A and B are shown apart, each in its own frame.
Chain A
Amino acid sequence: MTDRILVRGGRVIDPARGVDGVLDVLVESGYVADIRSRIDAAGARVIDAAGCVVAPGFVDLHAHLREPGFEQKGTIATETEAALRGGFTTICAMPNTRPAPDCGPVLESIADRFRRDGRVRILPIGCITRGREGRELAELAELAAGGVIAFSDDGSPVADPRLMRNALALAGALGLPLSEHCDSPEMHTGGAMNEGAVSERLGLSGQPAAAEAAAIARNIELAAAAGARLHIAHVTTARGVELIAEAKQRGLPITCEVTPSHLFLTEDAVAGGGPEPAYDTNAKINPPLRTEADRRALLAALDDGIIDAIATDHAPHAIEDKLLEFEDAAFGISCFESAASSLLTLAARGELRLERMVQALTSAPAACFGIDRRIPGAGRLEPGVSRDLVILDPAAEVTVDPARWASKGKNTPLAGQRLRGAVRAVIFDGTLAWEREGAHV
Chain B
Amino acid sequence: MLDAPPAASASAEGTAWTRKDLLDTDTLTRAEIDLILETARAMREVRSRPVSKVSTLRGTTVATLFYEQSTRTRASFEVAAKALGADVVNLTASGSSVEKGETLIDTVRTLEAIGTDVIVMRHHRSGAPHLAARHTSAAIINGGDGTHAHPTQALLDLFTMTGRLGSLEGRKVIIVGDILHSRVARSNAWTLLKYGADVTFCGPATLLPRHFVPAVDGRRCAVTTDLDAAIEDADVVMALRMQKERQQRGLIPSLREYIARYQVNAARLRKAKPGALLMHPGPMNEGIELSPEVAHGAQSLIEEQVANGVAVRMALLYLIAARSRT
Contact = CB atoms under 8 A, between A and B. Distances in A.
B301 to A, nearest CB: 26
B128 interface: yes
A122 B27 CA distance: 49
Contacts of A200: 180, 209-212
B123 interface: yes
B103 interface: yes
Interface residues of A, number: 23
A279 B104 CA distance: 15
B104 A325 contact: yes
Contacts of B180: 200
Contacts of A320: 103
B105 A323 contact: yes
Nearest to A324: B103
Nearest to A270: B127
A199 B181 CA distance: 11
A136 interface: no
B126 A204 contact: yes
A193 to B, nearest CB: 11
Contacts of B128: 325
Contacts of A405: none
B16 to A, nearest CB: 18
A328 interface: yes
Interface in B133-160: 145-149
A276 B130 contact: yes
A325 B211 CA distance: 23
Give the secondary structure class of B's interface. loop
A276 B23 contact: yes
B292 to A, nearest CB: 31
Contacts of A327: 125-126, 146
B125 A326 contact: yes
A203 B183 contact: yes
Contact of A325 (B123, B149, B186, B249): B123
A326 B126 contact: yes
B210 A328 contact: no
B266 interface: no
B165 interface: no
Most buried by B among A197, A203, A327: A203
A196 interface: yes
Nearest to A208: B210
A204 B180 CA distance: 10
A195 B211 CA distance: 9
A203 B186 CA distance: 9
B64 to A, nearest CB: 18
Contacts of B212: 196-198, 200-201
A197 B215 CA distance: 12
Contact of B148 (A195, A197, A203, A324): A203
B131 interface: yes
Contacts of A202: 126-127, 148
Interface string B292-315: 000000000000000000000000
A328 B125 contact: yes
A277 B147 CA distance: 14
A324 B104 contact: yes
A345 B24 CA distance: 35
Contacts of B104: 324-325
Interface string B16-43: 0000000110010000000000000000
A325 B210 contact: no
Contact of B149 (A196, A203, A328): A203
Interface in A198-215: 198-204
A324 B145 CA distance: 14
Pick the most buried of B123, B148, B180: most chain A CB atoms within 10 A of its CB. B148
B105 to A, nearest CB: 6
A275 interface: yes
A278 interface: yes
A195 to B, nearest CB: 8
Contacts of A197: 211-212
Contacts of B186: 201, 203
Given A203-B186, A326-B125, A277 B209 contact: no
Contacts of B131: 279, 323-326
Interface in B141-198: 145-149, 180-181, 183, 186
Interface string A263-303: 00000000000011111000000000000000000000000
A276 B129 CA distance: 11
B209 A204 contact: no
9 contacts: A189-B249, A199-B211, A203-B147, A203-B149, A278-B130, A279-B126, A325-B104, A326-B127, A328-B125
Interface of A: 189, 195-204, 275-279, 320, 323-328
Given A202-B126, A275-B27, A326-B126, 4 more contacts: A200-B180, A200-B211, A276-B27, A279-B130
